[in-house]
Amino acid sequence: MELFINLTINGLATGMLIFLLAAGLTLIFGLMSVLNFAHGGLFAWGSYAGVWLYLLTNSFIAGIIGAIFIGILLGFITEKWIIQPVYGNHVQQILITLGFMIVLSELLKVIWGPNQIAVTPPAYLTGSWEIGNILIIKYRAFIIVVGLLMYGLIYYMLKHTKIGLIVRAGVINKEMVQSLGINIKRIFLYVFMAGAAMAALSGMLIAPYAGVIHGNMGMEYAILAFIVVVIGGMGNITGSILAATLVGIIGSFMAYYVPELSLAVNMLIMAVVLLFRPQGLFALKG
Amino acid sequence: MNSLLSLKNVETYIDQYHILQDVSFEVPAGEVTVLLGRNGAGKTTTLRTIMGLNPPKKGEVAFKGAIMNGLPPHDIANRGIGYVPEDQGIFGALTVEENMKVAMKKESDDVMERMEWILNLFPDLKTFWKKPGGLLSGGQKQMLSIARAYVNETELLLIDEPSKGLAPIVVEKVMHSIQEMKQKTTIILVEQNFLMASQIGDYFYIIDDGRTVFNGRMQLLREDESLRRKYLGIA
Amino acid sequence: MIIGIALFVFPFIYEDRSMLILFTQIFIFAIFAMSYDILLGFTGIVSFGHAMFFGIGAYCVSVMLKHHEPTMLLVTGAISLGVLFSLIISFVVGLMTLRLKSHYYAMLTLALAGLFLVAAEKWRTLTYGNDGFTFQVPEFFHDRLHFYLVCLVLMVIVYFGLKRFIQSPLGRILLAIKDNEQRAESLGYQVLHYKIIASIVAGGIASLSGSLYALSLRFVNTSVFTMDITLDALLMTIIGGVGTLIGPVLGAAIIELAHHWLTGLAKVHWIFERWLILFGIVYILAVMFFPNGIVGSVRKLVSKKEKKEDVSTSENIVKEG
């Protein structure tokens, strides 16, 4: 029983981190029809920049703020100079974002070196609570709380703010939104920056959780995020958090019982969803 | 002539296709100008060109004397042009209220006044205020689309085939409300239904093969059957 | 043409083992990149899983040679087997996935290639995972020169074979699909059909190059299935020139040479270890500004010049007239 709960909590924490990464991807895809293959690069950059600042200042909060800041900045650069020039051409977009992914992850190794960096959580998030026989590691609980808070925030923004309303309208019909006098390019930029910031935050949070960060972490987690986006349905935030939880928990249990197959199972789910339900497992209607 | 909008020798390409080859017309303020012509003649593209959705390659589109070539659609909309596309462009998953809110740039007195006026014209919208736009009937969608295009300080409304796919009785209703809207704003109407067009139009332009080939006051077309036969293929 | 002959003669004049190996490597990747061009350049399919077929070819040859007496016959058989596997797998994968939209397809191929990588890593009894294994090659290939010539000949054959393929009626249909899928569809072509054919051809040839790659190293490990292999093909094709066939060959040469040269410089400064960054940037600029790569851009320049000359000559005629 304890094992079951522990694995579930572990899976939930991983799921929340993947959700943060996937949330940006799915929103960007829904609104702009851009599948950002560089998203993992933004994630890795958030991780490295955040950890660097964290180790430098010894303040975890500073690390988080730094990660978000670098995410916003890189998001701006990516949208303005990488994606906008080829807007509307799917093949070029796919190719260019993948190219930018290479540049981002190589640049990372140039700046911080190719070796992995060890990271531990701050003192106040180290250790665990014991409830009966169940051990809850504080940092995991922290990640779950942050993930849920972020989901709540995104949900609120989409449902109850003007910009959220415009984003939802834009997902349905971009041309009409423009015809109503809204500069959709600016909305694209905002959404992209927000998505990049979330990816960077996820990268920062994952560092103490995984214990080490390394240069190729971007692609590794990006693949998980792609899987989540597909399972959850592109452009669907609630679908994303459900799918991320599913992928996280499957990953956690598989890693314990049959570690060989953990990634394979997730990929298989994605392949099956793509083939039989390309609109996503959690989409209500076409 | 006191024209609100004018097109001069406009040419538009979609991909490599030369859709508009030479379109020129003037839209007098406060009147309804109807664009007539066969299917595929370029009427919808004309509206999209004005809106900046298919920008013109050559020629000149001027609104209130200012040339608008190359402006992005949102800029054009903000100068006071509202667009009601052929498929109405309703945000189906958004409620009627939210559909209106997307359009409202600000909540000034003027905009609120317009809102009130248009909702009085289309009381159905008030009834289904919290209902998703996708669940409205065809006629109601048309009304919502028109209301949405009108609510900002719109001086010119572009309406693309409002009668398409609607039951005759609903068509009548929609046409009646367009007639009402004439008091408030200038209108360009694309319409296949000649009977309807002739009832509310003041001027007409005929577009054929991407060119404006004939124009005049609506009365002319109403009275001259041979003209109708020649350009529209109808009696 | 001259370059081709020069390449045949070159090893006899200039005897340098490392150069020979480098050029062999170029030929192998040129074959691989050309196969990628069939997808990207001639059909407009973006696949992020092309390494899948490269890896199948590599492992087919390696495993066969590991367990049996290395003879030429066996090598030929093993290569054919790899190609056959790839044909079947690309057919099945194509059938399942090619009806999806471009970004879905890119992702799914990425995922499938990932699956193959994971499978290769886990099936250690056969593959020895990431550690890999070495194997013996037939006597004939012990001489690097022989292998060089074989690869060169195969590259030339693949080049002319694919050239014929794309100039055939079938190839023209593929181009039509790339240009405008809907139009091709409405002209009555079974788009899916042709896309599958393209992916089968590309898969088979990729497998051939993978086999040669393993033979050249006399060693194989799971890296043949990694994203890096697909990235190589992408970089070579894009930088060399998408849809030109000769472009990927040129791209392969540029990237392999630069790789060789820049890694050599790594002793001077470690930053050269990160040579990929340079290519990443060139690649992005190419996608943005020179979507036809080096070859395409040069061709465009030349044809422009010719046109200008045409104009000036016609002007002359007018003047004279």
What is the overall mean pLDDT for chain B? 90
Express each pLDDT in A109-162 by its tens digit. Answer: 889 988 899 999 999 999 888 888 788 899 999 999 999 999 999 999 999 999
Burial bucket for residue C187 (CB in 10 Å: 0-12, 13-18, 19+): exposed
Residue C316's pLDDT band, with cuts at 50, 70 and 90, is: very low
Report the C-alpha gap between A47 and A207 in whole angstroms.
Answer: 6
Query: What's the rounded mean pLDDT across residues C199-209?
Result: 95
Report the C-alpha gap between C26 and C252 in whole angstroms.
Answer: 6
- What pLDDT does residue A6 have? 86
Lowest mean pLDDT, pick from A244-253, B84-93, C134-143: C134-143
Chain A CB within 8 Å of residue C284 CB? yes
pLDDT beyond 90 at A38: yes
* 8 Å CB contact between A236 and A141: no
Judged by CB atoms closer than 8 Å, whether chains meet at C281 and A103 is answered as yes
- What pLDDT does residue B223 have? 84
Greatest alpha-carbon pair distance for chain C in Å reads: 82
Lowest mean pLDDT, pick from A89-93, A125-129, B228-232: B228-232
Judged by CB atoms closer than 8 Å, whether chains meet at B78 and A176 is answered as no
| Interface mutation target, options A84, A102, A227, A229, chain C, most CBs of C under 10 Å | A102
- What pLDDT does residue A185 have? 93
Backbone angles phi, psi at A211, to 5 degrees: 90, -35
Express each pLDDT in B212-227 by its tens digit. Answer: 988 889 888 888 888 8
Give contacts of A94 with chain C, Cβ < 8 Å.
46, 102-103, 106
- What pLDDT does residue C310 have? 57
> Which of these, C48, C37, C33, C32, lies nearest to C171 by C-alpha position?
C37
Report the C-alpha gap between A251 and A259 in whole angstroms.
Answer: 9
- What pLDDT does residue B219 have? 86
Residue contacts between A and C (CB atoms, under 8 Å): 101
Q: How far is CA A63 from CA A19, A51, A176, A217, in A?
A: 20, 6, 41, 18
Lowest mean pLDDT, pick from A153-162, C153-162, C290-299: C290-299
What is the overall mean pLDDT for chain A? 90
Q: Identify which of C107, C115, C227 has the shortest CB distance to residue A264.
A: C115
- What pLDDT does residue C307 have? 64
- What pLDDT does residue C321 have? 35
Judged by CB atoms closer than 8 Å, whether chains meet at A278 and C107 is answered as no
| Interface mutation target, options B102, B106, B148, B156, chain A, most CBs of A under 10 Å | B102
Q: Domains (ranges, CATH) in chain B?
A: 3-232 (3.40.50.300)
- What pLDDT does residue C9 have? 67
- What pLDDT does residue A286 have? 35
Report the C-alpha gap between A13 and A230 in whole angstroms.
Answer: 20
Judged by CB atoms closer than 8 Å, whether chains meet at B72 and A178 is answered as yes
What is the overall mean pLDDT for chain C? 85
pLDDT beyond 80 at A280: no
Instruction: Give A178→chain B minimum CA distance, Å.
Output: 5
pLDDT beyond 80 at C7: no
Residue C308's pLDDT band, with cuts at 50, 70 and 90, is: low
Lowest mean pLDDT, pick from B97-101, B174-178, B205-209, C304-308: C304-308
- What pLDDT does residue C278 have? 83
Query: What's the rounded mean pLDDT across residues A84-110?
Result: 89
Residue B233's pLDDT band, with cuts at 50, 70 and 90, is: confident
Give contacts of C46 with chain A, Cβ < 8 Å.
91, 94-95
Q: Domains (ranges, CATH) in chain A?
A: 2-276 (1.10.3470)
> Which of these, C205, C32, C210, C220, lies nearest to C120 by C-alpha position?
C220
DSSP state at residue B94? S
Question: CATH number of C17-320: 1.10.3470, 1.20.120, 1.10.4100, 1.10.357?
Answer: 1.10.3470
Residue B27's pLDDT band, with cuts at 50, 70 and 90, is: very high
pLDDT above 70 coverage of chain A, percent: 98
pLDDT beyond 80 at C259: yes
Q: Identify which of A166, A172, A181 has the shortest CB distance to residue B152.
A: A181
Instruction: Give C138→chain A minimum CA distance, Å.
Output: 35
pLDDT above 70 coverage of chain C, percent: 88
Judged by CB atoms closer than 8 Å, whether chains meet at B91 and A168 is answered as yes
Judged by CB atoms closer than 8 Å, whether chains meet at A179 and B83 is answered as yes
Estimate the crossing angle of helix A39-57 against helix A184-210, to 10 degrees: 60
Q: Which residue has the higher pLDDT, A227 or C16?
A: A227
Judged by CB atoms closer than 8 Å, whether chains meet at A168 and B94 is answered as yes
Residue contacts between A and B (CB atoms, under 8 Å): 63
3-state secondary structure of B157: strand
Chain A CB within 8 Å of residue C147 CB? no
Q: Containing H/E element for B208? A: strand B203-208
Report the predicted TM-score, pTM, of the whole model to 2 decimal places.
0.88
Beta bridge partners of B61: B7
Residue B191's pLDDT band, with cuts at 50, 70 and 90, is: confident
Nearest CA in chain A to C124: A260
- Angle value at C-alpha A52, between A49 and A57, nearest 5 degrees: 125
pLDDT beyond 90 at C249: yes
Instruction: Give A146→chain C minimum CA distance, Å.
Output: 28
Express each pLDDT in A100-121 by its tens digit. Answer: 998 998 899 889 988 899 999 9
- What pLDDT does residue C15 have? 66
Helical residues (DSSP H) of C168-292, grouped into ranges:
169-179, 181-186, 191-217, 227-240, 246-265, 275-289
- What pLDDT does residue C319 have? 41
Judged by CB atoms closer than 8 Å, whether chains meet at B152 and A182 is answered as no
Count CB atoms within 10 A of the CB of residue C270. Answer: 13
Dump the DSSP string for B109-150.
HHHHHHHHHHHHH-HHHHHTTTSBGGGS-HHHHHHHHHHHHH
Judged by CB atoms closer than 8 Å, whether chains meet at C100 and A109 is answered as no
